[in-house]
Amino acid sequence: MAAAAAALTIVAAVLVWPHAKNAGPVIPAFLPVFATWVTLTEGLTALLLWTQYVVSGRLLFAALSGAYAFTSVIAAIQLLVFPGIFSTTGLLGAGPQTAIWIWVFWHGGFPVLVTASLVGRSIPSTLGRRARGRAVVVGAVAIAIALCALASAGQSHLPSLVAQSGSYAQLSSSPAALIVEAMCLAALGCHLSATRLRSLMDLWLAVALLGTLIDVTLTLSASARYSVGWYAARGASMVSSSAVLGMLIYETTGLYRRLSETHRTLVETSARDGLTGVFNRAYFDERFAREFSFARASNQPLCVLLIDVDHFKQYNDMFGHLAGDKCLRQVSGALAGTLRRQGDVVARYGGEEFVVVLAGCEPTAGLRVAESLRAAVEKLAIPSASPDGGPVTVSIGLATSFSNTGESATALLGLADAALYRAKARGRNRVVDDIAGEATAIVIPASAERFGH
């Protein structure tokens, strides 16, 4: 993107160059819009760079903040003194040469300050010591004000750069203009040599310095104010003022996005059960209450399944607790891997019990899901401690909430618990459905592939 911005700016300047001296339309509103744009963008850039200094303690950011604060202040003052904007000759005691000399100080001072910031790269961070950085920024602003005061109060001591007619002939051949052009070119060269464009900041600072160089070049090639070259130079200046700001906004947006992703990951990690990796009881309590309220408000059914690993105490007694932990991890993995919808939730309810929440799920569909969960655990073929020597199995109690029933979230969970109790009482390894307090047992032999309701 930086390369594209630089290439487009250069191409536009080359295309404009042959027509730079042609007279353009006089648009009085253009200059206030331009100056306001530059003042605001440079000021925002200075603020964001200062924020980076406060966070990192690197003097580089304070120096760059000072460079952009310098430009913001000097652009605002130039608008006030520009002839024909707020008064015929300009405010603050301005004369006919004040605005152009402020332009010279502006376009000479910015590249000098950016080059001076290179020194800050070698100075170690001083996190927590803002006085040095504050002095740099205040010093840059003071320089801007002093130079503007010189251009206004000391105009009689400065050579004339613009004729009364507004012609730029004197400016183009003046030593001051040539010095500014050389300073811009030297600043860009020093920046490229010192930074090697290693970072986004380096890349977009190069674009800003290039924009300033093109601004100066087109201004010197223009015949007068409001010529084609003059307008194009102002456009290059707007590119220069916006380059680093755009990069900082892009980086800030990316930072917030990464922080949001990190926060979500931390929240999910804190909501996970340490042993099984599925959601923990605290997350279930919060999520289940939210899903229940939403189901009531949206007139949607809500299924909850309580799942218990059969004969798990005997399993621990026979194989040991380490094997028991492994068994729970395998069971939870089978449960989580069987659920297909993104919104379905499986959590560890406590001990060897798990709970599944199925939002917007009718009882028949809930039974199918419950049966698939039961079958998935059975297919793990984990040796069990049951008397018949079969694999580890689970018993499942299911309850469904409808908007026309009066149970609460706690009551619905109680119905599922009652259904689970019936499943265990009737021989385990089965699903029992409990709707509106009327229990219907679904007995599923271990070898069955289908079930009845």
Tens-digit pLDDT profile for residues 217-242: 999 888 788 899 999 999 999 999 99
Same domain, 341 and 250: no
Same domain, 229 and 326: no
Q: What pLDDT is recorded for position 446?
A: 39
Same domain, 256 and 287: no
**Is residue 283's pLDDT more than 60?**
yes
Residue 366 domain-assigned? Answer: yes
Same domain, 358 and 221: no
Q: Does an H or E element contain 184, and which?
A: helix 175-195
- For 128-177, the pLDDT digits (tens) are 567 788 999 999 999 999 999 999 888 778 888 877 666 777 788 788 88
Q: How far apart, in whole angstroms, are the C-alpha atoms of residue 335 and residue 309?
A: 12
| Least-confidence region, from 141-145, 223-227, 243-247, 270-274 | 223-227
DSSP 384: -
Q: How far apart, in whole angstroms, are the C-alpha atoms of residue 402 and residue 366?
A: 13
Domain termination residue (choose one: 233, 264, 295): 264
Q: How far apart, in whole angstroms, are the C-alpha atoms of residue 342 and residue 262?
A: 20
Same domain, 319 and 426: yes
Same domain, 111 and 14: yes
Q: What pLDDT is recorded for position 450?
A: 34
Residue 208 domain-assigned? Answer: yes
User: How far does CA 103 lie from the centroid of its chain?
Assistant: 37
Same domain, 6 and 89: yes
Q: What is the mean pLDDT of the chain?
A: 88
Give me the phi and psi of 125, to 5 degrees please.
-60, 145
Q: What pLDDT is recorded for position 66?
A: 96
Q: Which two tokens stand for residue 342?
A: 């993104």
Residue 57 domain-assigned? Answer: yes
Cβ neighbours of 390 (radius 10 Å): 16
Residue 449 domain-assigned? Answer: no
User: How far does CA 246 lie from the centroid of its chain?
Assistant: 14
- Residues 390/384, Cβ–Cβ less than 8 Å: yes
- Of 77-81, 125-129, 434-438, the range with the highest mean pLDDT is 77-81
- Of 114-128, 175-189, 387-401, the range with the highest mean pLDDT is 175-189
Same domain, 131 and 9: yes
DSSP 157: G
Q: What pLDDT is recorded for position 109?
A: 95
- Residues 248/47, Cβ–Cβ less than 8 Å: no
Same domain, 52 and 140: yes
Residue 272 domain-assigned? Answer: no
Same domain, 89 and 202: yes
Q: Collapsing DSSP states into helix, strand and coil, what is residue 59? A: helix
Q: What pLDDT is recorded for position 406?
A: 58
Location of structure tokens 């001591």: 157
Assign 444 a pLDDT band (cuts: 50, 70, 90).
very low
| Least-confidence region, from 303-307, 361-365, 427-431, 437-441 | 437-441
Residue 274 domain-assigned? Answer: no
- Residues 180/216, Cβ–Cβ less than 8 Å: yes
Give the CATH number for residue 351. Answer: 3.30.70.270
Residue 276 domain-assigned? Answer: no
Return the closest-CA partner of residue 159 out of 105, 101, 106: 101
Question: What does pTM read for this prediction?
Answer: 0.66
Same domain, 10 and 80: yes
Domain termination residue (choose one: 264, 295, 314): 264
Assign 309 a pLDDT band (cuts: 50, 70, 90).
very high
Cβ neighbours of 414 (radius 10 Å): 15
Assign 447 a pLDDT band (cuts: 50, 70, 90).
very low
Same domain, 210 and 346: no
> How many structural domains compose the chain?
2
- Provide the residue range defining the domain that includes 168: 2-264
Residue 269 domain-assigned? Answer: no
Instruction: State the average pLDDT over residues 48-57.
Output: 90
Assign 260 a pLDDT band (cuts: 50, 70, 90).
confident
Domain termination residue (choose one: 239, 264, 289): 264
Q: What pLDDT is recorded for position 126?
A: 64
**Is residue 353's pLDDT more than 80?**
yes
- Residues 328/307, Cβ–Cβ less than 8 Å: no
